[in-house]
Amino acid sequence: MSDILALNSDSLSSPSIDIKTSINSGTIDSLGWGLGWYPNNDNSAVIIKDAVSRNTQDMVQALTDWTSFRFTVLLCNSIGAAKHPTQHDTQPFRRSFSGSDWLFIHDGKFNRSNLADIHDQATGFLEPLGNTDSELAFCLMLSRIHASGSKSLKDAKGQNLLEWFGELDGHGSADIIFTDGKTLVFYHGKNSTKPMFYKRFCPPNPEAALESASLSLNLSDPRDMYRTFLMVSTGPFQGEDWEEMELGQLIMARRGAVVWNSHRAKPTPYPFSSFQSQSQSQTIPEEKSSFSSLQTAQALTSSVAEDVEQFAHGIQGKPFDYRLYEVTHLTEYKYSEPVEHSEHTFRLNPWEDSDQLVVDGGVEISVPGEKLQFEDVFGNPSVHYSINQPYTELKIKSTHRVKVISSTPDDYTSSMRRTSIPLIWMPWQRQMMQSYLMPPELPETQLRELNEFAMSFVERNDYHLLQTIMDMNTRIYEDFTYKQGSTNLETTPFDIFTSRSGVCQDFANLLICLCRLLNIPARYRVGYIYTNANYENKIQSEASHAWTEVYLPFVGWRGFDPTNGCLVNQDHVRVACGRNYRDATPTSGTILKGGGLESLLVDVKMREV
């Protein structure tokens, strides 16, 4: 039996491995170790093998300076199973196919005679160099891939690979790790006699070396501080909570993330179901207004845009489905000393367009003042409000009923609707989008790390535009922790990238930064989300929410909510947008005279009518 291991990172990395060859010193049946990796993501793999590993450190010592190696995929066979000390019988095995080197390692034993018969009956596409059952299984798998017309593991698809590995299960035990340099596949055979484990390491990575019986693995290279690693091994490591694979389970990974798992329901990257309203079957009582007792009120009423109604119908005149919400947003300021003069900007009126319609509503302010309504440069309905009389308490209450209208799915068949990265913009388009293309002003070293992170998504998704954005949206939701109070308005996207925690505005800013580094226009959106207070981040249903909008060529602005891992849909009510939070904040202002200590209370309620 062998001990096999594979490592897959989201960007180029240099983890160091120390193979404990001395454990083989008294064993005659466990010969050989081997390493295989793809330097700088080349299509050509490098393999180093030592067929006679007992008390032999020469080749291990040659690999002590791991900083010279940079790769995203590495395979390791740390305890050999060969009975004869030959290079061609030592794992990992390598074959060139379809313009790339493919690597293969196996822990277990097959009936070689049976596999030889199957291989001869197939195509005989490749012949093994050595005499091992493992290399014969490798040749058989490549034959299957060739016969299917596939050029890569991604083309071969997980279900097909599962069937082919299942065929091998009928002839022995098949713990297999297989790669074409881009996609990593690992399979735990139904007849395996030992467990197989895997784990994702998200930053910060462990500083101490990971130890198993056969090797020591160190992920603490300073250049790899913010890398994400996915590891799979048949030899468990000490002190880590690894996930044990089930018999017959197959997993595919790319750039440090699982992209297909045979033993889990196909993941929905945008779990709309977790946000769907259940209120149709419930009766929610009307809430009594607590604002009627205010001494002075001034209504800033939103009028219904009659011309929007025409856009809420399909081509044949049939109206689209819609959901109707009532949103109440109360902001209350209190001061220890009277405020004598203050200036304010309010962006509390929801947007109106073909997807959203304000039925009625307005904004009430408890202190009289001079009002100026306008549309700001980002298209937000805005109010400038000047107060010239003393007050110690200021309440702003926004109440609106909003229709969120369904729309037909986007059509990406037109060649004008570009679907691949990089995006090329005409000069006038770039001029118009310049504000949404500039990443935040951060040190170059930080932007380089963020760019590496962004490119890992691009390469994982073969430069496909929409899949890359959706993957970033989902990965922020899955890998980052929602932690209220952990950040402030000065927190940068790099801070969120390194800490892996934040709140909705932080996740939106991170996704915006990643998109802009990829030359994809992105903007900040403030609004509300209807959750029926029935999901893990319930606090978001009690405050303004934030997400990212991305401009897709010849499609338009489309919303992505990284806090919840979903596309913006009929659960979201849009209010204001801009380059960042300061452009879209619902309430802002400056105290010009008086004030003292300030306290703030924000209360948001959203219900479906």
Model confidence at 174, in pLDDT bands (50, 70, 90)? confident
**Residue 239 vs residues 8, 195, 454, 483, 500: alpha-carbon distances, Å:** 20, 17, 31, 26, 22
User: The tokens 């959106």 sit on which residue?
Assistant: 525
Residues above pLDDT 70, as percent of the chain: 82
Element (H, E) at 254: strand 249-254
Residue 127 has pLDDT above 90, yes or no: no
Q: State the average pLDDT over residues 316-343.
A: 87
Residue 544 has pLDDT above 50, yes or no: yes
Query: Which of 29-33, 242-246, 320-324 is most confident?
Result: 242-246
Task: Identify the weakest region by mean pLDDT among 33-42, 295-304, 532-541.
Answer: 295-304
Give dist(CA 527, CA 227) in Å, integer.
33
Name the architecture of domain 319-405+587-608. Answer: Sandwich (2.60)
Q: State the average pLDDT over residues 224-239.
A: 89
| CA-based radius of gyration for the chain | 30
Q: Summarize pLDDT for 253-312 with one digit per residue, the tens.
A: 999 999 999 987 554 444 333 333 333 333 333 333 333 333 333 344 333 344 445 445
Beta strands 184-188 and 572-578: pairing type? Answer: unpaired
Give dist(CA 166, CA 160) in Å, integer.
10
Residue 9 identity: S
Element (H, E) at 454: helix 444-460
Which CATH code for domain 3-261?
3.60.20.10
Task: Identify the weakest region by mean pLDDT among 2-16, 73-87, 263-277, 474-488.
Answer: 263-277
User: What is the secondary structure of 67-96 as a DSSP string?
Assistant: GG--EEEEEEEEE--BSS--GGGSSSEEEE
Per-residue confidence (pLDDT) for residue 67, from 0 to 100: 62
Which CATH code for domain 427-584?
3.10.620.30
Euclidean distance between the first and the last CA atom of the chain, given in angstroms as a whole number: 64
Per-residue confidence (pLDDT) for residue 238, from 0 to 100: 83
Mean pLDDT rounded to a whole number for the chain: 84
Q: Summarize pLDDT for 436-476 with one digit per residue, the tens.
A: 999 999 999 999 999 999 999 999 999 999 999 999 999 99
* Pick from 381, 367, 358, 493: nearest CA to 438: 493
Per-residue confidence (pLDDT) for residue 129, from 0 to 100: 84
Q: Which residue has the higher pLDDT, 172 or 32?
A: 172
Model confidence at 85, in pLDDT bands (50, 70, 90)? low
Per-residue confidence (pLDDT) for residue 588, from 0 to 100: 92
Q: State the average pLDDT over residues 190-200.
A: 92
User: The tokens 């993941």 sit on which residue?
Assistant: 267
* In contact, 379 and 293? CB cutoff 8 Å: no
Element (H, E) at 581: helix 581-584
Strand order, beta sheet including 16-19: 16-19, 215-218, 210-211
Q: Summarize pLDDT for 134-151 with one digit per residue, the tens.
A: 999 999 999 899 989 999
Model confidence at 130, in pLDDT bands (50, 70, 90)? confident
Go through 55-69 and write b for each residue having 16 or more CB atoms within 10 A of its CB, e for each that does not: ebeebbeeeeeeeeb
CA dihedral 145, 149, 150, 151 (to 10 degrees): 110
Residue 532 has pLDDT above 60, yes or no: yes
Per-residue confidence (pLDDT) for residue 6, from 0 to 100: 95
Residue 2 has pLDDT above 80, yes or no: no
594 — phi, psi (to 5°)?
A: 85, -165
Q: What pTM does this model have?
A: 0.84
Residues above pLDDT 90, as percent of the chain: 59
Task: Identify the weakest region by mean pLDDT among 257-271, 355-369, 479-493, 577-591.
Answer: 257-271
Per-residue confidence (pLDDT) for residue 81, from 0 to 100: 53
Element (H, E) at 358: strand 356-365
Per-residue confidence (pLDDT) for residue 66, from 0 to 100: 60
Per-residue confidence (pLDDT) for residue 275, from 0 to 100: 32
Task: Identify the weakest region by mean pLDDT among 234-238, 378-382, 480-484.
Answer: 234-238
Model confidence at 328, in pLDDT bands (50, 70, 90)? very high
Per-residue confidence (pLDDT) for residue 18, from 0 to 100: 81
Could you tell me where the DSSP H helices lie in 92-235? 112-121, 133-147, 153-156, 158-169
Per-residue confidence (pLDDT) for residue 300, from 0 to 100: 41
Extents of the domains making up the chain: 3-261, 319-405+587-608, 427-584
* In contact, 7 and 229? CB cutoff 8 Å: yes
Q: State the average pLDDT over residues 476-488.
A: 90
Residue 1 has pLDDT above 60, yes or no: no
Go through 136-173 and write b for each residue having 16 or more CB atoms within 10 A of its CB, e for each that does not: bbbbbbbbbbbeeebebbbebebeebbebbbbbbebbb
Residue 594 β-bridge partners: 339
Q: State the average pLDDT over residues 350-357.
A: 92
* In contact, 55 and 89? CB cutoff 8 Å: no
* Pick from 115, 93, 10, 6: nearest CA to 451: 10
* Pick from 564, 441, 558, 587: nearest CA to 503: 564
Per-residue confidence (pLDDT) for residue 294, from 0 to 100: 35
